[in-house]
Structure formats: C-alpha cells, structure tokens
Chain A
Amino acid sequence: MTADKEKRRAISREAARRRRRVESDVFGDLSRLLPLQPSVRAHLDKPSVIRLTLSYIRMHTVLKENDGINAGSRHMITYQQAVEGGDEQSGCDGAQDEEEKDTEEFEASQETNMYLGILEGFVMVLSTEGDMIFLSDNVSKYMGLTQTELMGHNIFEYTHPCDHEEIRSNLRLTAEEVWYGEKRDFVMRIKSALTHRGRTANLKSATWKVLHCQGRAKVCVDPSAVSCLLLTCRPLPLSHTLLSRYTFTSQHSMDMRFTYCDQRVTSLLGYRPEELLGRSIYDLCHALDTSCLNKNHLNLCLKNQSVSGQYRMLVKGGGYVWVESHSAVIPSVRPSRSRPGIPQPLCILSVTYVLSGVEQPSLQLSLDQTIHRYLN
C-alpha cells in the first residue's frame, strides 16, 4: 500500500507545483500592469504586488471624481509657456501633436516635482483605517524608504506609539465631515531611516522625524472604497527665511516664559524685549487662543517641534495682532564636545510671523494692557 501512497504523494506534489507556477504567472501578470520601474518590479514579492495593486485601484477610486478637471488640464499650459507668453494666452485647448503632448507631459512631471519641492514635503493618502494608500515618490527623501516599499502599509507601523491615539482621532470621520472635506492639522512622529547626512540607513537605527500633516477628508465615489484623508506631510522644523520686518524670534524656557526676544518685536507688538522677559506667553495671548497655544506647547514638550496655527497676541496698550509661531526645542547651551553624556538644559526657540496689522488698537482686553496696575 505504501507504493500507492507514494504515488499519490507524488501526484499531489506535482499538482502543488503546478498551482504555484500558475499563481506565480498571475502575479507576474499583475505586476506588469503596475506602473513601476522595471528594476523595482523585478524585486517585488507577492504580498508587495498585492499591496501595490490595492493602492493602484484605490487611487483610481480616489481620483475618479477629478476626471472632469483632468480632461481640461491635460492641455494646461506650462509655466514656462506662461512666462514667455505674458499677456497673450495662447490657445490652451488647441489640438496638440503627439510630440507636444510628450514634452508637455515631461514638463508636467517637472511641474509636479516643483510643487512637491515647494511644499517641502510629500503627499500621503491615508485610509480611515490608517493604510497609506498612496505616497508621492519623494517620500524617500524624508523617510529613507521608497514609495513602493511603503505604499499599502499601515501608518501605525511607522509612527510613534504615543502619537497613535492622536492619529486615530484624526482618522475618525463622520459621513458629513467627509462630504464637506473636513480639514485636518496635526503633528506626528514617523520613523526615518535617514542619517544626518541624508543617506539611507537600516531601519534598525531609525530615528523619529516630526511631521506636520495638513489636509482634508476626501469623498470616495466608489462605495467599495473607504473614505480617506489627503495630507501633505512636511518635516519640522521648517526652514525659515527671515526677512526683517514681519517676523521676530524669541527664546523661552520650557514653560513658555520669554528668556529672550529680538528687537523687532517692538515695532510689531509694542513691547521692548526686556519687558517680555519672564512673562508667560499665555498672558500675552487672547483668551480664545488658550487651547491653541496649549496644544502647541504640548507638541513641543512631547515631540519637540510644533507649528502653532494662528493665534492672537496682545499688543502693548491695546489691541492685538494675528500671528503664527514655528517652534522647536533646542539645547539652551552650546553642546560641548567635552561633555557628551551630560543632558543639556533645553529651551524653546520660536520664529513668529505676524500676519495682520494691529486690530482694534484702542481696545484693552487684558489687565496688562490697562494703565492701572493692581497690586498682587
């Protein structure tokens, strides 16, 4: 009887091999339908093929409603043409040759790179379950991992555990919120396999990178697709170009009291830098903005970097201005090479942009702004 068994086993092994071959073929077919570079395609394993297929299908669903816009934009003039053309708008919708179309698409890709370059970040499409459906390919510049390595995976695998709750609450969307394209704005920490010099390292030595994510909810037309968030993710700290008049820098102790402020604050807020030393920023803001600053402060304590969003700072003597602050935690002393192990005392460095003029200058809202000072 064993011979029989042997025979049966052989048959089943053969059948299994055939199945696997057929399966591999189908996987191959699938991978060739994906818009990938040949070198990337060759190294994909089966789960990755499915992952990327899923992303591809989902992105089509996400973009479906853009079809109308796309048709028109296909012939959109490039900025180069616009520069040359100046006042005359050459017929945008004129028929174009194939060649022109090719060059146009080529330029379009330049344009896209430009967009992403301007934004100083990458684009992420996130499902409400946290799957990173799509990432623009410049994600490798920020995370050290390529688009194809990351797409389809879940964001919770790559972000700091302490931020998961916050991410989850940002992913929660009611149907109404999705319909109206509800906005999102939050800061999270993500793994980065980049070294300081910009090289890609092993994920084993991944560091945390702070990302500022802004975007909105997106309706997905196809009922089989989940709704999702469209986000631009920019690593903090942002670079700041300081041009004299409308920004000022300040330093704070970790409790947000001023320890230093540059002179420009005087022309913008009326205070001399000395007057601000030791004062808490919470005293100097409008009461309606307390929670905004609180959130900013918490982000700084936990994630070391933050963008405040817009809030009002009270001007000396009356009125207020709208401002936005970009802050980071830095060592307050020059890190000395001779004492590497010693923890540095920290402080907060802020760059504050003034967004508006002084509003309601005669209106005194806070005790500080009034002339009379009460004791105690």
Chain B
Amino acid sequence: VNVTFEQQVDDVLVEEEQSTSVSLPSLMTPPSAAGMSLSVELTRKRKGSVDNQDSKCVSVPDVDMEDDQNRYKDQHVKVKCFREPHSQIEKRRRDKMNNLIDKLSAMIPTCNPMSRKLDKLTVLRMAVQHLKSLKGSASSFSEANYKPSFLPDEELKHLVLKAADGFLFVVGCDRGKIVFVSESVTKILNYSRAELIGQSLFDYIHPKDMGKVKEQLSASELYPRERLIDAKTGLQVQADLPIGAARLCSGARRSFFCRMKYNKISIKVEEKESQGNVLLESQKYCTVHCTGYMRSWPTSQLGAEGEGEVDKQESSHFSCLVAVGRVHNHSSPQVNGEVRVKPTEFITRYAMDGKFTFVDQRATTILGYLPQELLGTSCYEYFHQDDLPHLADRHRKVLRSKEKIETNCYKFKTKYGSFVTLQSQWFSFVNPWTKELEYIVSTNTVISYDPSRAGRSGNKSEQSSNPKASEDCKKSPPIIPGISSTPGTMIYAGSIGTQIANELLDFNRTNSSPSSGNVSPFSLPQDKSPQIHNQISNSVPNGETSDMEIPGKSSSESEPQGAAFSGGETLMENSQLDLESVVGPGLNSLSSDEAAMAVIWSLLETDTNLGEAVDFEEMHWSL
C-alpha cells in the first residue's frame, strides 16, 4: 500500500524476495564510506572494567575521532590501538571518569558554588541527594506493572510535539469530525482546543484542498486505486490487494499536505484610516504536513455510537485518521547560503549569454516591463552605454568564478525610457553533479529611482576609449554598413553577451595553447587566455583588409579599465560603437541568426545606402 524506496519487512512488498533490492545502505558504502572503514567493537558481555576488552587495531582516519579521545565512549564502542600499553588505557579511563565527574558537578546546583574542585565521592554523594530531590517533585518512577520509561510519558509526549512543532489530531472519516486535538494546536493554529473539538475538519481546510483531504479520509472503494511503485525500477505496478481492505485496515498510513486555517487576531481599524473601506480579513492559511495512520474501532466497543446519527447497520466500524500535523514554512530553512531578498530587490536569471530566462514579478514595479517583455532579450539592451564595459567585464568574471560577483551601480533602462540605478550580485549557478553552468542568478537591488537622466540611444559616447577614433567611421557601423545606428545598437548590444558566452565555450573546448602567444584582451591576469583566435580570423566585414592585430599586442594601449577593452586597432577606430571596444575584434562572431537578421535589416532599411561601398563578398560571417 505504500511506496517504499527501501524494503521493510513489515510492509506489503511488490517483490516477493527478501533481496537487498534497492539496498541503499550498500549503495552508500562505496562512495561515502571511502576510507571510513571504522571498525568498532560492541560487546554485550559484562559491562565491567576496561580490562576485559579485547584490543583491536583500527584505523582512525578522521581528525574528529582523534580529537574526541577524551570523549571516550564506554566499552560499548571503543576505538583502541593494538599496541597500546596498559597504562595508557588506564589513563584514558581515568580521564574519562574525571571528565564525567566534572560534568556532573557542573550540573548539580549544590556543587556549583564551591570554588574548589570537589572530590569524586563527594560529587557522587551530592548527585544522589540531588536526584532524590528531583524525584520528589516528579511523577513516580515506581517499579509498577508497566515498563518505566526514562521520561514520564506526559513529558515525552510534550517533547515530541514540541520537537515536531506539531499537534495530534483525530478525525472521523465519515464526516471529518474532529474528535481529538492536542493542546499544542493552540500554538500552531491559534485556535483553542475547545473551538476545534467537535467541529468538522473541513471547516478549517483551504477550499481547494478539500478534495485532497476527502481523498485521504476516504474508505470508499469509489476512489482510484492506489498505486505502488516498484522500488527497483521506479515504475508503477498494479496492486494485488483489494483496495477496500487495504484502506480500512488499521495501520494504513497517510501522508499529505494541506492548507489549514490559521486564526488571526483581527485588529480593529479606525474608520478614518480605512477610509470607509471594509477591513479585509484575508484568511490566512499555513501549510501543514499531516502524517499518520488509519484506526478503526468496531462500534460495539464504544460506549456510544461513534458518530451519532449513523445507522448502526451501515457502519460497523468507526474509522478515523490519527495524525500529527506539522507546520511547514515556505522558506526552506537553510543555515547558509540563502538568497536574502528585500523589498526593493528582484531576482533574474540569465542564460550564459546574458539573455533573460527568468524574471521575478517584482521587477515590473521597478522596471515597468512585464516579465514576458524581458524574457529572451539580452540584458545588454537595457544597460546604459556607459556601464557596458564594466558589466561586460563582470559578466566574463562571473562565468569563470565560483564566487558571487558584485557589480557597481549601473543604469538600467525602464520601459518608459528613463533609467533606474541598480546594483547587482551575480553568481554562476552550476549543477552540483555535472559542474556545468545552469544559469547566472542575479540579485538586483534598486539604488535609486531617479529618472532624471534621459535615455540615450547611445551613439555619441564621449568615451575616450579609443584614441584612434576616425571621423569617418562615426557615422556608419563598420559591421553592417548602412544600418542606422539605433537598430544596429540593439543588435550589437545583444551580441555582447553572445560573444562573451562564446568565449567561454571556446575556451572550454580548446584549452589555451601556449604556442599561440596570444594574450586575450579579455583575459584577467589569473585566467588562461581564451582562444578567440579563430574568431578573429573570420575577419571583419568592414571592407578593410584584415590588418587584424592580435588583440594581445594592443594591450599596451588598453584602457585603465583593463585589458578587456583593447581590441583590434582597426575596430578601435570606430569610436561610435564603443560596444566594439568592449567586444573587441571578435564582434563579427554574431550568431547565425543575428547575422542573418543584420543582413535583412540592411537590405530593408537602407536602400539608399546600397550604392555605397558595401561589399557583401567581403563579409565573412561565421555561419
């Protein structure tokens, strides 16, 4: 009736054989127990002194164990070395005893005030006294008919509920009547026991979950068959058991999540404040994980009828669900590494090339775009011209680093043309198994909403990144002749990301070859130089002969901002497209789509320019 990944003797099994089947322990031992074959000894002999023990030689590879020598286990589990002299063993035993005595004296109130250390016997005697005093107030540990447990059951019960952060409840299957609920429900759902007992559970369940809960409570055969999963193959198989019997029998387990009402204390709002609006009390729900099992009592055993109105003939059993409900928070508790998000933040995901693949809905209030307007477009299209170099550099860095990379403040174009100032933290999320990049996660914080700076289409940059700027090239983009700047800019912006992504891919494909002697302008001092040699050789379709200098050589002329910006000098001549200074000589390695698009653009938009020196023959596309 259950899906179990591991075979348990008591459960109904799909497989007859008592094989090790999934046998997770055996799966675990090879990888995780590598080098950890710690053999320890368990004796059930007279738990007397140390002397009775055999010494066995064990390897203690891990530091912890050695540090914990002081925390010696008693003879149940001993880690000893074969050749250890008896005196050492004795010493350890004494040390352990002394350690225990110290701990004991720390726990006994009467021992504490003593400034000097007490001797062993005194501590023990005081312990006896202390226990006697504790016993007096607690319930009896009488050697009675039943088995005494270390904690009185009342205590243990509370402990369990407290640890589980849960409450016990019993509901009848027929109508969902809450027959019992533990005191701890008050802390969790904020309803008193009295409010709940006798009520229908369904009054407290989220409307959309009622069907689910009904299903769980049902003993009816009308509900779909339960499925079993073959633990070996993970595929479903049909059960051989008659469903009704399986469901009804005591012990059938249930495990499900449902949303339960959480009693909020309503606060009265002043008339003025609410401005005549009705105080909206949106019902709060919390997700409760219910686990338990079915219990069934024949009604003859009960003093009164189980459910009162039910005809005795029909139901000879009173079935109910006995379960513990534990509250689940939506935020998964992480000790480290949580992405902390504040109100003026939003999260985005980028593919390797900077295209948006996920946009958190909070972005809309900040940027004006709906997520779907951004998805699939390149982030570079929205970055301000001035920030492109820096952000491209950060982009490169994040692809090569396991760390979180912070950007400086930068401007992001909103839907309305204005810019907001953001600051982001990027990190490359890699698949834990393959270690490959899944995407880049960006936590974006709003620094200022100041829209005072008008958006620029970005043609006229004052950047002196290019000392060799030539006037001629300012007007027409070298790559796609005749295209007006704005659409061209858009395309180029998108290509920055692609370029950066391709760099990394090429780098990964071919390790840097020292023989080439190239130092990529993009390489940061500690990185290996990615091979962009191939891309360069595809030359620049700007009509100029490929006097493409090896980028590395021009690094001496590089920007204060770093080697990232020294491109081939030929391209540097075009100060118009500072984008190129960022991207460098490999700009032409547009993806085939973008290249095709660019050609079409040029044909459509600029028939006037067609007469100019456009030589498509010389354009070498890396198609």
Q: Does A255 belong to the interface (CB within 8 Å)?
A: yes
- Expressed in whole angstroms, the Cα–Cα distance for A346 and B179 within the complex equals 46
Q: Give the secondary structure class of A's interface.
A: mixed
- Expressed in whole angstroms, the Cα–Cα distance for A302 and B100 within the complex equals 35
Q: Does A251 belong to the interface (CB within 8 Å)?
A: yes
Partner of A161, one of B36, B141, B289, B439: B36
A291 touching B287, Cβ below 8 Å: no
Identify the closest chain A residue to B349 (Cβ). A287
Identify the closest chain A residue to B30 (Cβ). A343
Q: Does A365 belong to the interface (CB within 8 Å)?
A: yes
Interface centre among B3, B287, B348 (most CB of A within 10 A): B3
Stretch at the interface among A9-17, A32-40, A269-277: A32-40
- Expressed in whole angstroms, the Cα–Cα distance for A53 and B128 within the complex equals 9
Contacts of A5 in B (CB 8 A): none
B191 shortest CB reach to chain A, Å? 15
Q: Does A221 belong to the interface (CB within 8 Å)?
A: no
B158 touching A184, Cβ below 8 Å: no
- Expressed in whole angstroms, the Cα–Cα distance for A315 and B395 within the complex equals 30
Contacts of B593 in A (CB 8 A): 375-376
Stretch at the interface among B69-77, B523-531, B571-579: B69-77
Q: Does A266 belong to the interface (CB within 8 Å)?
A: no
A247 shortest CB reach to chain B, Å? 8
- Expressed in whole angstroms, the Cα–Cα distance for A35 and B107 within the complex equals 18
Partner of B27, one of A145, A148, A331: A331
B131 touching A238, Cβ below 8 Å: no
Identify the closest chain B residue to A144 (Cβ). B42
Contacts of A329 in B (CB 8 A): 24, 27
- Expressed in whole angstroms, the Cα–Cα distance for A154 and B64 within the complex equals 12
- Expressed in whole angstroms, the Cα–Cα distance for A77 and B216 within the complex equals 26
B343 shortest CB reach to chain A, Å? 14
- Expressed in whole angstroms, the Cα–Cα distance for A256 and B32 within the complex equals 20
Contacts of B157-171 to chain A: CB distance below 8 A? 157-165, 168, 170
A102 shortest CB reach to chain B, Å? 8
B378 shortest CB reach to chain A, Å? 10
* Given the contacts A185-B332, A255-B433, A74 and B154 also touching, CB distance less than 8 Å: yes
Contacts of B620 in A (CB 8 A): none
Q: Does B623 belong to the interface (CB within 8 Å)?
A: no
Q: Does B562 belong to the interface (CB within 8 Å)?
A: no
* Given the contacts A304-B27, A353-B256, A185 and B160 also touching, CB distance less than 8 Å: no
- Expressed in whole angstroms, the Cα–Cα distance for A118 and B41 within the complex equals 33
Contacts of A288 in B (CB 8 A): 339, 341, 347, 360
* Interface mask (B1-28 → A, CB under 8 Å = 1, otherwise 0): 1111111110100000010111111111
Contacts of A290 in B (CB 8 A): 339, 429, 441
B371 touching A280, Cβ below 8 Å: no
Partner of A374, one of B47, B157, B376: B376
Q: Does B174 belong to the interface (CB within 8 Å)?
A: no
- Expressed in whole angstroms, the Cα–Cα distance for A1 and B482 within the complex equals 121
A15 shortest CB reach to chain B, Å? 13
A303 touching B28, Cβ below 8 Å: yes
Q: Does A265 belong to the interface (CB within 8 Å)?
A: no
A118 touching B441, Cβ below 8 Å: no
A351 touching B3, Cβ below 8 Å: yes
B150 touching A56, Cβ below 8 Å: yes
Contacts of A157 in B (CB 8 A): 65, 68, 71, 73, 77
A192 shortest CB reach to chain B, Å? 8
B107 touching A119, Cβ below 8 Å: no
Contacts of B6 in A (CB 8 A): 237, 328
Partner of A45, one of B74, B107, B138, B163: B74
* Interface mask (A130-149 → B, CB under 8 Å = 1, otherwise 0): 00001011000000010111
* Given the contacts A82-B170, A297-B433, A356 and B158 also touching, CB distance less than 8 Å: no
B183 touching A76, Cβ below 8 Å: yes
* Interface mask (A281-311 → B, CB under 8 Å = 1, otherwise 0): 0110011111110110110011111001111
Identify the closest chain A residue to B289 (Cβ). A324
* Given the contacts A35-B149, A364-B375, A225 and B29 also touching, CB distance less than 8 Å: no
Contacts of B18 in A (CB 8 A): 196-197
Identify the closest chain A residue to B302 (Cβ). A84
* Given the contacts A215-B163, A294-B432, A196 and B73 also touching, CB distance less than 8 Å: no
Identify the closest chain B residue to A366 (Cβ). B358
Contacts of A169-208 to chain B: CB distance below 8 A? 169-170, 183-186, 189, 192-193, 196-198, 202-204, 206-208
* Given the contacts A33-B131, A59-B151, A241 and B2 also touching, CB distance less than 8 Å: yes
Q: Does B135 belong to the interface (CB within 8 Å)?
A: yes
Partner of A183, one of B28, B255, B293, B333: B333
Partner of B160, one of A58, A123, A154, A328: A123
Contacts of B189 in A (CB 8 A): none
B154 touching A73, Cβ below 8 Å: yes
B163 touching A51, Cβ below 8 Å: no
A243 touching B256, Cβ below 8 Å: yes
Partner of A208, one of B29, B125, B306, B347: B29
Contacts of B183 in A (CB 8 A): 69, 72-73, 76
A46 shortest CB reach to chain B, Å? 7
Q: Does A96 belong to the interface (CB within 8 Å)?
A: no
Contacts of B32 in A (CB 8 A): 160, 162, 189, 208, 302-304
* Interface mask (A38-53 → B, CB under 8 Å = 1, otherwise 0): 1000011111101101
Q: Does B338 belong to the interface (CB within 8 Å)?
A: yes
- Expressed in whole angstroms, the Cα–Cα distance for A192 and B441 within the complex equals 40
Q: How many A-B residue pairs have CB under 8 A?
A: 483
A204 touching B39, Cβ below 8 Å: yes
Interface size class, chain A: 35 or more
- Expressed in whole angstroms, the Cα–Cα distance for A334 and B19 within the complex equals 12
B213 shortest CB reach to chain A, Å? 10
- Expressed in whole angstroms, the Cα–Cα distance for A282 and B257 within the complex equals 23
- Expressed in whole angstroms, the Cα–Cα distance for A239 and B144 within the complex equals 36
B64 touching A161, Cβ below 8 Å: yes
* Given the contacts A82-B180, A255-B434, A208 and B25 also touching, CB distance less than 8 Å: yes
A292 touching B332, Cβ below 8 Å: yes
Q: Does A60 belong to the interface (CB within 8 Å)?
A: yes
- Expressed in whole angstroms, the Cα–Cα distance for A298 and B433 within the complex equals 8
Interface centre among B30, B47, B151, B198 (most CB of A within 10 A): B151
Q: Does B143 belong to the interface (CB within 8 Å)?
A: yes
Stretch at the interface among B231-239, B265-273, B607-615: B231-239
- Expressed in whole angstroms, the Cα–Cα distance for A82 and B193 within the complex equals 12
B334 touching A109, Cβ below 8 Å: no
A142 shortest CB reach to chain B, Å? 12
Contacts of A58 in B (CB 8 A): 107
A274 shortest CB reach to chain B, Å? 16
A215 touching B441, Cβ below 8 Å: no
Contacts of A211 in B (CB 8 A): none
B154 touching A255, Cβ below 8 Å: no
- Expressed in whole angstroms, the Cα–Cα distance for A198 and B109 within the complex equals 43
Stretch at the interface among B318-326, B398-406, B411-419, B553-561: B318-326
Partner of B64, one of A164, A331, A335: A164
A208 touching B212, Cβ below 8 Å: no
Q: Does B603 belong to the interface (CB within 8 Å)?
A: no
Identify the closest chain A residue to B355 (Cβ). A374
Contacts of A148 in B (CB 8 A): 150
Q: Does B498 belong to the interface (CB within 8 Å)?
A: yes
A297 touching B432, Cβ below 8 Å: yes
B160 touching A56, Cβ below 8 Å: no
A-B contact pairs, 21 of them (CB 8 A): A37-B148, A59-B150, A83-B318, A84-B302, A89-B197, A109-B149, A115-B157, A118-B322, A123-B163, A203-B42, A225-B107, A230-B162, A230-B163, A242-B226, A245-B215, A282-B438, A283-B439, A292-B334, A301-B432, A356-B208, A366-B371
- Having A22-B121, A111-B153, A330-B27, one finds 19 other A-B pairs with CB under 8 Å, namely A51-B74, A55-B150, A56-B150, A57-B134, A86-B307, A118-B291, A119-B324, A125-B159, A148-B150, A149-B76, A206-B40, A224-B109, A311-B332, A331-B22, A349-B5, A349-B234, A366-B371, A367-B357, A376-B355
Top 8 A-B residue pairs of the complex, sorted by shortest distance between their CB atoms: A309-B332, A237-B5, A230-B163, A207-B25, A35-B141, A203-B42, A82-B180, A374-B376
